[in-house]
Amino acid sequence: MQEGAKKTGAIATEVAAPAVLSYEAMNGNVTFDHPMHAEALSCAKCHEEMPPQKIAIDKTIAHQLCKGCHSDMGAGPTACNECHIK
């Protein structure tokens, strides 16, 4: 199984994603550790379609999806400077 691929329930999906994704932002770039998240969560937590497809991330989506999940789960960064690194 490739790095970042995850077996979820009865369905095994192979997802080739970079280990660390980087998103440019005006107030500091954001990095995302895909394998760490794939290990801890099901693919469906972030990806609506199966097999998982690449997500087009913008500020609104990142704040709803990423920050929202971190807040809901009580884990992960939620403050601006915890994600946005200058």
Q: Which residues line the annotated binding site?
A: 34, 37, 43, 46-47, 69-70
- How is the chain split among helix, strand and coil, in percent rounded to 5? 35, 20, 50
- Give the residue numbers of the binding site for heme c: 34, 37, 43, 46-47, 69-70
| 85: DSSP letter | B
- For residue 74, is it left (φ>0), alpha (ψ between -120 and 50) or beta? left
* Tokens representing residue 73 in the block: 């789960």
